[in-house]
Amino acid sequence: MQEVRVLAPATVSNVVCGFDCLGFALEKPFDEMTVRRISERTVRIVNRDYFNLPTDPEKNVAGVVLLALLAKINADFGFEVEVTKHIKPGSGIGSSSASSCGAAVAANRLLGDRFSKLELVDFAMEGEQLASGEKHADNVAPCIYGGFTLVRSTDPLDIVSLDFPPLFATVIHPQIEIKTSEARAILPKQVSLKTAVRQWGHLGSLVAGLAQGDYNLISRSMEDFIVEPVRKSLIPKFDEVKLESLAAGALGGGISGSGPSMFFLSKMQATAERVELAVRSVYERSDCEFNTYVSEIVSSGVKFV
Amino acid sequence: MQEVRVLAPATVSNVVCGFDCLGFALEKPFDEMTVRRISERTVRIVNRDYFNLPTDPEKNVAGVVLLALLAKINADFGFEVEVTKHIKPGSGIGSSSASSCGAAVAANRLLGDRFSKLELVDFAMEGEQLASGEKHADNVAPCIYGGFTLVRSTDPLDIVSLDFPPLFATVIHPQIEIKTSEARAILPKQVSLKTAVRQWGHLGSLVAGLAQGDYNLISRSMEDFIVEPVRKSLIPKFDEVKLESLAAGALGGGISGSGPSMFFLSKMQATAERVELAVRSVYERSDCEFNTYVSEIVSSGVKFV
């Protein structure tokens, strides 16, 4: 086997009360990636899309992941990676993560699956480090494991796959840019213990609701008392979109990653599609360009084709 | 039916990373309580133990709960409650909660079970208000629901019963007094967002570990970065007791409630008994009197006899 083709899905991190630890994988959108073993000891990036991402492997998230893999095994060969991205960079649904994870999973297959999922998350975090300056696992974990994942700890790295019932996500991506630095700067450095307790009570019951397949509990638990209240100011019409989604039957939702995308969960596909119509109608009354997606939350992450 | 007898169990609240929301019910120790319907419109307290608790119903936790129940239904009768407490007041394993819940559950049976468990928690919180000045549900929730409970919210009150695998608790109660006011005063008012995230990542994975019956995950998740580090100074030999319990095979543990009791969880009864020997041997080398208990964590709360 000299070539492996994968689909690397979009992911939602910072799932309401689960800031910095809870994420899930969508079925679509996804990036298409092909990784080939080449004899030169290098990494070659071939972009087949219009995003003009860097082709210097040290400046490309898939590139740094592949370089890290090659370094780890002292390889006397290299990789070429051909990328057709469909997940727009900066959308807040794990675009860089998809590139990092797709590269890691495809290359690992070429290496005879010698690394575990947990090790692949660790490699993919090299890409996140390049993209955001931070080695966070919130998007790469669900991208590799699929479904809902909880990052218990990044040092040592510990990823928990959660049980969950059928769920559908509606995502709306307003085409605006939110600087990660700005989204970070407005976060409080300190929170009151009382508010922290409310937040972790909700995260605990969200995890319980997912495990028990209790949609009502999932819905009651989807509240964020710390991050959403400050970050929502960066997203046009956030409150209106949220209100309309809930009115259309969504269980709850919030900001995906650090935005600008928003996501809403529904029990049924038909509801998720009604939610899509509802959020579209809010944005159609604005000047802002946007995309929407409806996707089941699936238990697979990066898929081989 | 004019008389109902119940056993009201001890409970552990503030379960490591689940400060102020996660608790569980023990099988023993428990208080024995008998509630009788009487024709006088009053509440009479009869203490059958040596704790000298108040017999004025307005100053007795079972008393205020029964008064609240009677007021709610505009009763033209009253209750007598006979109490044999085995759970020492001030032990940190829900002594006041057992009295409040035993009274509420027994009286409710005399009233034809007209109130739901959730409503009974609400009534029992009147007792907690009297005992501690705060209407918290951390002990009364597991005392009434049994097993592990999570308080998602106190306003509105929302209690989540968690799934959990077989677990055994070893409790050690050093006979010292910790003033609730002191235990509260040393808590930080503010915590860093980073530490709060670590704590809720652990609580989320603890709930997942319980739901999945993954003992290793339960063990990895039992860490408290916020409360234990400051409160353990109030408990003699805390670090030594914890180290020895882990060495004896406990999955993890910490301070029960606001102390002075400590608890440790084990997968098997035999391990919990080894942990008991280990913690006893630490305290036997000190001047401090103590009691220990080993109990399964059971899915029933207050039991009818």
- Say what the ipTM of the complex is: 0.95
B290: closest CA among B49, B12, B9, B91?
B91
- Rounded Cα distance, B127 and B13, in Å: 16
Residue B303 lies in a domain: no
Question: Closest residue of B to A162, CA-based?
Answer: B208
pLDDT of residue B36: 97
Is A253 found in the same domain as A267? yes
Left, alpha or beta for B112 (phi > 0: left; psi -120 to 50: alpha)? left
Chain A contact set for B160 (CB, 8 A)? 204-205, 208-209, 217
Same domain, yes or no, for B99 and B208?
no
Question: Is residue B11 located within the same domain as residue B154?
Answer: yes
Q: Which of A135, A162, A189 is the last residue of a domain?
A: A162
Is B127 in the same domain as B229?
no
pLDDT mean over A53-78 = 95
pLDDT of residue B172: 97
Tally the domains of chain B. 2
Are A125 and A29 contained in the same domain? yes
Classify residue A301: in a domain, yes or no.
no
Structural domain contains residue B304: no
Please check whether residues A50 and A107 belong to one and the same domain: yes
Q: Are the beta carbons of A8 and A144 closer than 8 angstroms?
A: no
Q: Which of A17, A192, A203 sits opposite B190 (nearest CB)?
A: A192
Assess whether pLDDT exceeds 70 at residue A147. yes
**A200 sits in which H/E element:** helix A193-212
- Contact yes or no for B228/B15 (Cβ under 8 A): no
B37/B141 same-domain check: yes
pLDDT beyond 90 at A73:
yes
Q: Which domain holds residue A156?
A: 3-162
- In the residue annotation, B195 being an active-site residue is answered as no
Q: Answer yes or no: is A303 within a domain.
A: no
For residues A182 and A216, membership in a common domain is answered with yes
Neighbours of B281 (CB within 10 A): 12
Is the predicted pLDDT of residue A123 greater than 70, yes or no? yes
Query: Which residues on A lie below 8 Å from B201 (Cβ)?
Result: 20-21, 150-153
The CATH number of the domain holding residue A257 is 3.30.70.890
Do B53 and B108 belong together in one domain?
yes
Q: Do B137 and B190 sit in the same domain of this protein?
A: no
Given a contact cutoff of 8 angstroms between Cβ atoms, the answer to whether B214 and B241 are in contact is no
Percent above pLDDT 70 for chain A = 100
On whether the CB atoms of residues B13 and B259 are closer than 8 A, the answer is: no
CA distance A9 to B204: 24
- Shared domain for A120 and A176, answered yes or no, is no
Q: How far apart are CA A151 and CA B126, in angstroms?
A: 38
The answer, for B230 touching chain A at a CB cutoff of 8 Å, is no
Contacts 24+ apart (CB under 8 A), B194-199: B195/B225, B195/B226, B196/A191, B196/A196, B196/A199, B196/A200, B196/A226, B196/B226, B197/A19, B197/A20, B197/A21, B198/A153, B198/B225, B199/A196, B199/A200, B199/B17, B199/B19, B199/B224, B199/B225, B199/B226
Which of the following is catalytic: A27, A32, A126, A128? A128
Closest to B168 measured CA to CA, from B220, B87, B89, B245? B245
Distance CA A45, CA A53 (A): 10
- Judged by CB atoms closer than 8 Å, whether chains meet at A160 and B196 is answered as no
What pLDDT band is residue A223 in, cutting at 50, 70 and 90? Answer: very high
Domain co-membership, B158 together with B213: no
CB proximity A252 to B under 8 Å: no
Chain B residues in contact with A17 by the CB 8 A cut-off are 200
The encoded tokens of residue A208 equal: 């319980």
From first to last of its 305 residues, what are the pLDDT tens digits of chain B?
689 999 999 999 999 999 999 999 999 999 999 999 999 999 999 999 889 999 999 999 999 999 999 999 999 999 999 999 999 999 999 999 999 999 999 999 999 999 999 999 999 999 999 998 888 899 999 999 999 999 999 989 999 999 999 999 999 999 999 887 888 899 999 999 999 999 999 999 999 999 999 999 999 999 999 999 999 999 999 999 999 999 999 999 999 999 999 999 999 999 999 999 999 999 998 889 999 999 999 999 999 99
Beta strand B3-12 with B303-304 is antiparallel
Domain boundary among B162, B178, B197: B162
- B163 touches A: beta carbon within 8 Å: yes
- Please report, for the domain that includes residue B43, its CATH number: 3.30.230.10
pLDDT tens digits, one per residue of A156-208 = 999 999 999 999 999 999 999 988 788 889 999 999 999 999 999 999 999 99
Q: Is A128 considered catalytic here?
A: yes
In a domain, B267, yes or no: yes
Give the number of other Cβ atoms within 10 Å of residue A67's Cβ: 21
Residue B1, pLDDT score: 65
pLDDT at B162: 98
For residue A41, the tally of other CB atoms under 10 A from its CB is 10
**Spatial separation of the C-alpha atoms in residues B57 and B37, rounded to whole Å:** 15
Examine the pLDDT at A62 and tell me if it is beyond 70. yes
Last residue of a domain, one of B130, B162, B194: B162
| pLDDT at residue A132 greater than cutoff 80 | yes
pLDDT of residue A142: 98
What pLDDT, on the 0 to 100 scale, is given for residue A1? 65
The answer to whether the CB of A126 falls within 8 A of the CB of A294 is no
3 state SS for A13-56: CCCHHHCCCEEEEEEEEEEEEEEEEECCCCEEEEECCCCCCCCC
